[in-house]
Amino acid sequence: MDPFLVLLHSMSTRLSSSELSDLKFLCQDRLGKRKLERVQSGIDLFSLLLEQNDLDRENPERLRELLTSLRRRDLLRLLDDFEAGAEIAARTDEQDFQAAFDIICDHVGNDWKRLARQLKLPDPKIDAIEVKYPRNLAEQVRESLRVWKRAARGQAEVSHLVQALRASRLNLVADLVEEEQQARSLRSESGSGSVSFGSWDSDAPASGASP
């Protein structure tokens, strides 16, 4: 499940009825009375805010404002932990991509256009990359990967690269990428200092502000 939704559900279970009423009052200008009449729980409210893009896992400042108004330090700590964990995860993901890009740039060579087409890059984009880096094959490969990643808008995964490599019959390169990712995962697990979200519901009160 999406960690941000897990966070919102955890917060919802800890809100008292009076706190939910306070949050509904604060959200009147965004949601309107008719929608708020249907809200029976914190997760109902959060879901409406998500639908209207007033809550965002990428930038949860609106959530922080609401929790601050309740003076719920325990819930604010949960949000802090989530943001710290998300930052670590994003940094790790970026490092995974860079490692995969390096391997692909070192081994794909002139087959990069075939890979780019498997990654759904249109021919005009491919032509533009050639024009941009006319004598630098490695940069042509890397730029095609960057263009793909930007176009994916946060949905890109290294596994998608592996699938595209195999569809391009570049199985050796796909194997190298997978082996590197497995090695990185093992190193990460052996030295893991990441935030755990599994204990969110284990020790906090169901309602009321923490001291």
The CATH number of 91-190 is which of 3.90.1640.10, 3.30.43.10, 1.10.530.10, 1.10.533.10? 1.10.533.10
The H or E element spanning position 74 is: helix 73-107
Radius of gyration over every alpha carbon of the chain, rounded to an integer in angstroms:
23
pLDDT at 73: 87
Domain boundaries, the chain: 3-71, 91-190
Contact 8, 43 (CB under 8 A): yes
Using alpha carbons, select from 172, 159, 181, 152 the residue that is nearest to residue 111.
Answer: 172
Convert the pLDDT of each residue in 155-170 to its tens digit: 788 999 999 999 999 9
- CA dist 170 and 182 (Å) reads 19
Is pLDDT above 80 for 190?
Answer: no
Model's pTM, two decimal places? 0.52
Convert the pLDDT of each residue in 133-149 to its tens digit: 998 999 999 999 999 98
pLDDT at 199: 45
Convert the pLDDT of each residue in 97-108 to its tens digit: 889 999 999 999
pLDDT at 154: 67
Query: Hey, do 3-71 and 91-190 end up sharing a CATH topology, with the first three levels equal?
Result: yes
Give the CATH class of 3-71: mainly alpha
